[in-house]
Amino acid sequence: MTAIAPHASRTSTDVLRLSGPGRPGHLDPICVDDPATAQLARLSTRCLFGYVGDPDPLSWRPGTPVADLAAAVPSIYNAGVGASNRSLVVMLRPGVRWDTTPHRPVTAHDVVRGIKRLGNPVRRPAALPYLTAMIRGMAEFCAGYAELPPDATAAELAAYQDDHDIAGLLVLDDETVVFELTRPALDLPHLLALPCTAPAPAEYDAFVPGSAELRAHLRSTGPYRPIPGEPSRWEPNPAWRAESDPVRSRHLSGIRVDPGPADAGELARQVRAGTIDLAWNAEVTGPAGEPVNDPAYALDPCLVLNVRDLAVRRAVAAAIDQDVRAAVADIAVTAEPGRHALVASSIVPPGNDGHLPDHPGFHPGENRRPDSTLTLVHRGTGTDGAVAGTCAAALRRAGIEVRLAERDAGQEWDIALTSLHPAWTQENSRVFVQALAEGYAPVRPIVDRAMDTAADPTTATTAWREAEQRLLDDGVVVPLLFRTRCAPPLTSDRVLDAVTLPSLAHEVDLTALRVRRDVP
Amino acid sequence: MSQTLTEPGHAGRDIPRSGDGTLGSASWSRIHELFALAPDSVHLNTGTIGVLPHEVLDTQDRVTREWTGGLMDVYPPGMYAEHRAAIGRSFGVDQDEMVISHNATEGMARVIHGLDLHAGDEVITTSHECYSVLSNFNLVRNRHGISLKVLTLPTGHDVRAEEIIEIFERAVTPRTKVLAFFGISLFTGMLMPIRALCELAHRHGLTTVIDGALMPGLLDCDMRALGADFISCSGSKFQCGPLGTGLLYARNKVHPEHNPLPLPTFWPVISTWYPMMGSPPPRTRTSVESDNLGDYLQSAGSASIARGAALAKACQIWDEIGRDRIQRRTTALGEHARSRIAERFGIEAMYSPGADERLRSPLVAWNPFREPRDAWNVRKIHEYTSRLAAEHRIWVRWTEFDVPGSPHQHYAARVAPHIYNDESEIDHAVTVMARLAEEMS
């Protein structure tokens, strides 16, 4: 992949134009936890490992991690992995620099800083449990970090990070980090491809994670960088070199994301008219086809319950029967024909490790209706309102009073309509079950057993399925649909090389895009 | 990394040769001249690759030329019948039990995939096996659903044979079917209590599979008397045959005094001569073979006749020098190296056993750096061995392994002396290694 030659002329027509509802989220790596923001973060944030798209929809490559900031994926062939798979040696790729002044190499210390930041008490990424379960000493580090107040200053946060080490992160020199694990982690390269694990430069110690101040001082290792003061604009990063980046290219003079309508039809009209190149944070696709090559479906949508009473949770789960799911499927398919939908009776969707076809589903147990009204929250975008309404109606028919509300920070809720997209699609046994088990203590010992036996697929699979069944039967999660894209995103006529990535929930990799200059 | 070269003009020199009856009494300095060693170098890495005797090189070259472009039938000599018989005798076994393979890995893989294992069967092995053993057992685990129990054995000067045997004995369950272990650890140099472990296996009715890569050419071993079912060896390490040679022993008859168990069910995967229809005769229960298992395993298409001849020549040379004599010599060199290393680096730096003679092999592994934490710094150990080679033409290697109770992957420098080394070379190497380690510490 090569960048445009420095002396090639660039015009404003080389700027990629995106538009859609909402605003880009904070690009601090630990704040990147939704596909739309991850799509933009990829422009400026590199991780130790990453994924590369492929125009062939049958290709396995987009789901396989490759070395990004790392020089190579650790293996026994490069002395990067030992026999027990509990020690991984990662050597950094030379020539990668921060867009600081002057440009400065990314070092092993930046890698460790990036991992340490995950445990801050102000804003913790949802993926943190994946790492605390594996990296030696990280759980203890994060437990201590959590004792700082949520309004701790940047100086206090940095002091904690400086004064405390994660025992299983060893910096051998500026270019080498060793990850020591408490259990074999066959998926560690995938974890270290998550945006939140990106290295952080020393400058970030001066800012509270996710703060407005940090937003104005973000640093880039990718081909583009946010323009300070213009959070929805990106310009080429002068510190980036194509020869040091096997994952991304740079073919544009800039990217912009403008506010746009939530209506997919209107966005599609603008794309076809060439007013914009691509929709952002919205489902706007070309003609639908069949999903190809066993794609990894998402659990999309589902209900996650925040109710202490087991009997009440079971009552909610029992009220959502196959008729309700069929109704939800009708809504989803009508509104988003670019996604293939299957009625879900289990948690792990098809195409993911541990999926069981013909899963028996939820086993009804003793249940009772709640004494008070339950609050069901949803994001308020796309089909959320209609799906939430359908579920609420089913619950009311079962004698459960429900109040609907759009999700808001700090709001109390009992049921959340949400979705779980696999952040990685290979070696991903724990992506769904571990994430849901984090909030439910009775399942955690089963999850621990599954992770401890990762090297033994038969034993591990049995444990994962036991955990999944327990989550279902205890009403921790109520699956509704499995869905996956079966249509490519709609792009304007001038866009070329629009490949998607499973790690971005099949959004387009903006770093691979080119635009034709002969088309306005 | 190896830079071993044929000495120029060796053909005109008075190189010792096999067959004239002199090797058995030749001095070690005379025997040194047998080998095509790179000048001004110290080769202490025979655990990775041995140095070929000139005669072995000549044999390989001559036989290659004899069989190039000819109209001869290449298949019979490719079965190495006479070579296998002769080599088998050297190791106390018969021709129908001996195979000339391509290397220890190939032999281990063919054994592992030929074992009659099913879902739920348990294999016990160690984390100190060659990676190819673990990868092949993992393949069987993924394919057939076996259970693999991987033990991490203790390391260090004070390890005792009884500890090793007890660790294995505790791990055995009613589902265990196979014990698979190394003969000599390539990582720590530990010599396993092989006979004792085989007797443990006999008591529990288990099949034994030994990775004997480092055994031939170093140990004067009677493979039948060890009591194992399978031993896969390298021909190109201490046996000093060409790269691409190995030896595989597959028990094919019952000698109760050595192994009372029935022959295990075994599938000789990769075989031209396995019947195309029907099955071979039932496996014997006596000391008389019912078929030639070695032939099944040996027949795998066209073979390099030169390769087999060269390995056979290496084995002949070893027989003439005397395998027991070689074992005594390498043991003495190993003890010399161990004592010098312990003096300079400290007993606490040693990963190889020392206190228990039964576990000592000539291979010695240790942490060369002053700081214990440098034992888990792969960059440092790599730089160390690279500088030894580049700056001092001393060839050793570094190894990596798990240590019980330690969260770290440990790294060690390892020397593997052989009969073309001597005490002065070892002293020189240890002095240089100590000085470099101090500089890097």
pLDDT tens per residue, range A361-372: 999 889 999 999
Residue B149: closest C-alpha in chain A: A456
Q: Give residue A10's pLDDT.
A: 41
Return phi, psi of residue B110, to 5°.
Answer: -70, -30
Look up residue B79 and give its two tokens.
């079965």
pLDDT tens per residue, range B223-281: 999 999 999 999 999 999 999 999 999 999 999 999 999 999 999 999 999 999 999 99
pLDDT tens per residue, range B75-112: 888 999 999 999 999 999 999 999 999 999 999 999 99
Contact A379, A407 (CB under 8 A): yes
What is the C-alpha to C-alpha distance for residues A179 and A332, in angstroms, rounded to an integer?
Answer: 42
Q: Within 13 Å of residue B161, how many CA atoms lie on the same side as its CB?
A: 13
What is the C-alpha to C-alpha distance for residues A491 and B411, in angstroms, rounded to an integer?
Answer: 53
Contact A25, A31 (CB under 8 A): yes
Contact B312, B242 (CB under 8 A): no
What is the C-alpha to C-alpha distance for residues A166 and A135, in angstroms, rounded to an integer?
Answer: 8
| Among the partner residues B138, B147, B400, nearest to A82 by beta-carbon distance | B400
What is the C-alpha to C-alpha distance for residues B441 and B439, in angstroms, rounded to an integer?
Answer: 6
Query: What ipTM was reported for this prediction?
Result: 0.89
Residue A294: band (very low, low, confident or very high) from pLDDT cuts 50, 70, 90? low
For range A210-219, the mean pLDDT: 94
Residue A50: band (very low, low, confident or very high) from pLDDT cuts 50, 70, 90? very high
Look up residue A394 and give its two tokens.
């089913």
Contact B102, B127 (CB under 8 A): no
Residue B375: closest C-alpha in chain A: A172
- Say whether A76 and B131 touch across the interface (CB within 8 A): yes
What is the C-alpha to C-alpha distance for residues A420 and A505, in angstroms, rounded to an integer?
Answer: 10
Residues of B in contact with A457 (CB under 8 A): 141-142
For chain B, the residues whose C-beta falls within 8 A of a C-beta of chain A are 119, 127-129, 131, 134-135, 138, 141-142, 145, 147-148, 150, 152, 376-380, 382, 400-402, 407-409
Q: In sequence order, what DSSP letters do the residues of B259-315 get, joined into one string?
A: --SPPPPB---S-SSS-SSS-PPPPPSSSS-SS-HHHHHH-SSS--HHHHHHHHHHH
Mean pLDDT of chain B, nearest integer: 95
- Other C-beta atoms lying within 10 Å of the C-beta of residue B302: 9
Give how far A466 is from chain B: nearest CA, Å: 19
Q: Is the pLDDT of residue B8 over 60?
A: no
Residue B20 amino acid letter? D
- Say whether A455 and B131 touch across the interface (CB within 8 A): no
For range A427-433, the mean pLDDT: 92
- Other C-beta atoms lying within 10 Å of the C-beta of residue A243: 9
- Other C-beta atoms lying within 10 Å of the C-beta of residue A268: 17
Radius of gyration of chain B (CA): 22
Q: Give residue B12's pLDDT.
A: 54
Return phi, psi of residue B234, to 5°.
Answer: -95, 140
pLDDT tens per residue, range A369-398: 999 999 999 988 778 999 999 999 999 999
- Residues near A415 by beta carbon (within 8 Å), at least 6 away in sequence: A303, A304, A305, A306, A307, A316, A374, A375, A376, A377, A391, A402
Residues of B in contact with A459 (CB under 8 A): 147
Q: Is the pLDDT of residue A100 over 90?
A: yes
For tokens 């021709």, what's the residue? B95
Which residue from A87, A76, A75, A155 is spatially nearest to A120, judged by alpha carbons? A155
Look up residue A78 and give its two tokens.
């490069």
Task: Kindly provide the b/e burial profile for residues B87-109, where b requires at least 16 CB atoms within 10 angstroms of the residue's own CB.
Answer: bbebbbbbbbbbbbbbbbbbbbb
Q: Is the pLDDT of residue A7 over 80?
A: no
Mean pLDDT of chain A, nearest integer: 92
For range A323-348, the mean pLDDT: 94
**Relative orientation angle of helices B323-345 and B305-321, to the nearest 10 degrees:** 80
- Residues near A124 by beta carbon (within 8 Å), at least 6 away in sequence: A30, A118
E strand intervals along A97-214? 97-98, 104-105, 169-173, 176-180
For range A207-234, the mean pLDDT: 94
3-class SS string, A239-286 = CCCHHHCCCCCCCCCEEEEEECCCCHHHHHHHHHHCCCCEECCCCCEC
What is the C-alpha to C-alpha distance for residues B219 and B215, in angstroms, rounded to an integer?
Answer: 6
* Chain B interface includes A457 (CB < 8 A): yes
Q: A376 by DSSP, 3-state: which?
A: strand
* Chain B interface includes A168 (CB < 8 A): yes
pLDDT tens per residue, range B137-178: 999 999 999 999 999 999 999 999 999 999 999 999 999 999
- Say whether A455 and B138 touch across the interface (CB within 8 A): yes
For tokens 């590199």, what's the residue? A46
- Higher pLDDT pick, B327 / B68: B327
Contact B366, B352 (CB under 8 A): yes
For range B346-367, the mean pLDDT: 98
For range A414-427, the mean pLDDT: 93
pLDDT tens per residue, range B180-224: 999 999 999 999 999 999 999 999 999 999 999 999 999 999 999
Residues of A in contact with B129 (CB under 8 A): 83
E strand intervals along A23-175? 49-50, 66-67, 87-91, 97-98, 104-105, 169-173
- Higher pLDDT pick, A393 / A338: A393
Look up residue B126 and give its two tokens.
């160690």
| Among the partner residues B129, B142, B377, nearest to A172 by beta-carbon distance | B377
Q: In sequence order, what DSSP letters do the residues of B216-239 get, joined into one string?
A: BTTB---HHHHT-SEEEEESSSTT
For range A135-140, the mean pLDDT: 98
Mutate to test the interface with A, among B378, B383, B406 (most CBs of A within 10 A): B378
Residue A520: band (very low, low, confident or very high) from pLDDT cuts 50, 70, 90? low
- Give CA angle at A428 (A423, A432), nearest 5°: 70
Residue B140: closest C-alpha in chain A: A456
Residues of A in contact with B137 (CB under 8 A): none
- Say whether A458 and B131 touch across the interface (CB within 8 A): no
- Say whether A87 and B131 touch across the interface (CB within 8 A): no
Residue B376 DSSP code: G
Give how far B124 is from chain A: nearest CA, Å: 14
Q: Is the pLDDT of residue A2 over 50?
A: no
Give how far B428 is from chain A: nearest CA, Å: 29
- Say whether B145 and A458 touch across the interface (CB within 8 A): yes
- Say whether A87 and B148 touch across the interface (CB within 8 A): no
Residue B184 DSSP code: B
What is the C-alpha to C-alpha distance for residues A190 and A168, in angstroms, rounded to an integer?
Answer: 18
What is the C-alpha to C-alpha distance for residues A371 and A367, in angstroms, rounded to an integer?
Answer: 13
* Chain B interface includes A418 (CB < 8 A): no
| Cis ω for the linkage preceding A62 (within 30 of 0) | no
Q: Is the pLDDT of residue A448 over 50?
A: yes
β-strand pairing of A402-406 with A374-378: parallel
Q: Give residue B161's pLDDT.
A: 98
Q: B12 by DSSP, 3-state: which?
A: helix
* Chain B interface includes A398 (CB < 8 A): no
What is the C-alpha to C-alpha distance for residues A335 and A320, in angstroms, rounded to an integer?
Answer: 21
Look up residue A94 and give its two tokens.
């030379």
Residue A471: band (very low, low, confident or very high) from pLDDT cuts 50, 70, 90? very high
Q: Give residue A335's pLDDT.
A: 87
Q: Is the pLDDT of residue A11 over 50?
A: no
What is the C-alpha to C-alpha distance for residues B301 and A224, in angstroms, rounded to an integer?
Answer: 57
Which residue from A404, A405, A385 is spatially nearest to A395, judged by alpha carbons? A404
Give how far B107 is from chain A: nearest CA, Å: 20
* CA dihedral over A424, A430, A435, A438, signed as positive or negative: negative
Q: B83 by DSSP, 3-state: which?
A: helix
- Say whether B148 and A456 touch across the interface (CB within 8 A): yes
| Among the partner residues A79, A87, A459, nearest to B408 by beta-carbon distance | A87
Q: In sequence order, what DSSP letters do the residues of A331-360 get, joined into one string?
A: HHHHH-TTEEEEE-SSSSPTTSTT--TT--
Residues of A in contact with B142 (CB under 8 A): 457
Q: Is the pLDDT of residue B9 over 50?
A: no
Q: In sequence order, what DSSP letters do the residues of A436-467 get, joined into one string?
A: HHTT-GGGHHHHHHHHHTTT-HHHHHHHHHHH
Q: Give residue B131's pLDDT.
A: 93
Residue A172: closest C-alpha in chain B: B377
Q: Measured in Å, how far apart are chain A's first and last C-alpha atoms? A: 25
Give how far A403 is from chain B: nearest CA, Å: 49
- Say whether B378 and A458 touch across the interface (CB within 8 A): no
What is the C-alpha to C-alpha distance for residues B302 and B234, in angstroms, rounded to an integer?
Answer: 20
Residue A174: closest C-alpha in chain B: B379
Contact A316, A362 (CB under 8 A): no
Q: Is the pLDDT of residue A3 over 70?
A: no
Contact A70, A245 (CB under 8 A): no
Mutate to test the interface with B, among A75, A77, A84, A353 (most CBs of B within 10 A): A84
- Give CA angle at A132 (A130, A134), nearest 5°: 75
Residue A455: closest C-alpha in chain B: B138
What is the C-alpha to C-alpha distance for residues A364 and A345, in angstroms, rounded to an integer?
Answer: 13
Which residue from A329, A283, A300, A503 is spatially nearest to A419, judged by alpha carbons? A300
